[in-house]
Amino acid sequence: MPRLIRVTCDGWADRITVRMLGGQAVKDWSDRIDNLTQGFGATSCRVAVIKGGRLLLTIPRSDPLAAPMPALPIPDEPSVGPVEIGKQEDGRPLRLKVHGTHVLIAGATGAGKGSFLWDTIRGLLCAMRAGLVQIWALDPKLMELSFGRELFEGRYAADPADCADLLDEAVSVMQKRATRFAGLQRSHVPTIEDPFVLVLVDEVAFLTAYQPDRQLRQRISAALATLATQGRSVGVGVMAALQDPRKEVMNIRNLFPDKGDAHEQRGLKHRGRDDVRPVPIPPKLVQILRQHIEEFGVAEDGRLFRSERGKVVASTAYTEVWQDARALALTPAQVASPLAHRPYDLRHAGVSLWLNAGVPAPDVAERAGHGVDVLLRVYAKCLDGQQEIANKRIEDALAA
């Protein structure tokens, strides 16, 4: 029988930590979520990996979000956040970081995207009164942000051309601040002279994807991209809402950190929130992995790599270490080339290696966690040194 390690209960859920049997996989548990749910007499059950061999079963017992919430009180003290905008599913306050980041909100019609916008405005009202925050609103459908025109003090636009003008003005403010801040400060502290500017854009896809005027569409997209790449450190943020977050609809979506955090926290792409996926690795790499864990251990939540304080490693740290490793492992000509330019290129190289080794494309796609079409279109690359082998095969075929 699996070993029961710990049980904790609170007003929202029961949490059970178990040690799996030898030879069991996480998939053996995730495939039986319905059985676990019925066995515990609950409406749902979630399976998450804590670390090797240990699972956390979360069984919700109540739903704090079942009933509508009254409006949260307006803060007494001016602050730029994180802004409390509601409750999480376990009843804890839901706080959204808006200063020092950019936020993209996606949801179907009627899903409640407007509540994110208005709860953010409500949470910033005290700071707006103090002159520490300005809200600039773009409302192309005229049905969401128009109720707050007086709050925005003239910084409101609905006509697409006016929206483009307002965005250009925001870019101008951002660039002037960057010129003044250069060499003096790297992060923004709201003041009356330089307040935090939050650009709210409702139905942003109408301006970036569905706008019939091509020049206007390009102008708006360019301004949003400029704000999203350069505005954070000088106190200019963007919060945009849309129904369809696909790349072809919002081609700058990667410039918006998920949930307003510096680090993306989510489940597997295009899968359920609690889905898991087994990743087979060769025995030699298993040996290296086990040696690493034995020497360095893992973080409290099971992550393999962590900072000195046990936190998430900054993306810049990975980049710096990777560049040092390239310089040590590659020739000067290879270092100057695009070869293994990013850590993520290891994924491309691994997939290409499997294909070149003769592993069938469907098997490679399953191991990599995506479809064959994506495999061949995006990830299959030429390996360094393979060109000579390919040329020799072509020559041999022609000579036959």
> pLDDT tens digits for the chain (400 residues)?
888 888 988 888 899 999 888 888 888 888 888 999 999 899 889 888 777 678 889 999 888 888 888 888 999 999 997 899 988 888 888 889 999 899 999 988 888 889 999 999 999 999 999 999 999 999 998 889 999 999 999 999 999 999 999 999 999 999 999 999 987 877 899 999 999 999 999 999 999 999 999 999 999 999 999 999 999 989 999 999 999 888 778 888 888 874 444 455 555 655 655 677 777 888 998 999 988 888 878 877 778 887 766 677 766 677 778 888 888 999 988 888 878 887 878 888 888 888 888 888 888 888 887 778 777 776 666 655 667 777 777 788 777 7
294 plus 390 within the same structural domain: yes
Structural domain contains residue 354: yes
pLDDT at 265: 57
Q: How far is CA 102 from CA 186, 187, 245, 292, 304, in A?
A: 17, 15, 15, 36, 28
315 plus 368 within the same structural domain: yes
As a whole number of angstroms, the distance between CA 46 and CA 374 comes to 29
Structural domain contains residue 204: yes
Please state the pTM of the whole predicted model: 0.61
299 plus 236 within the same structural domain: no
155 plus 210 within the same structural domain: yes
Total of domains in the chain: 3
142 plus 188 within the same structural domain: yes
208 plus 106 within the same structural domain: yes
Structure-token pair, residue 178: 């960057």
116 plus 199 within the same structural domain: yes
Q: Which secondary-structure segment (H or E) carries 226?
A: helix 214-230
| Phi, psi dihedral angles at 112 (to 5 degrees) | 105, 25
Question: CB under 8 Å to 247, separation ≥6 — which residues?
Answer: 253
146 plus 25 within the same structural domain: no
Structural domain contains residue 269: no
Range of the domain at 313: 283-399
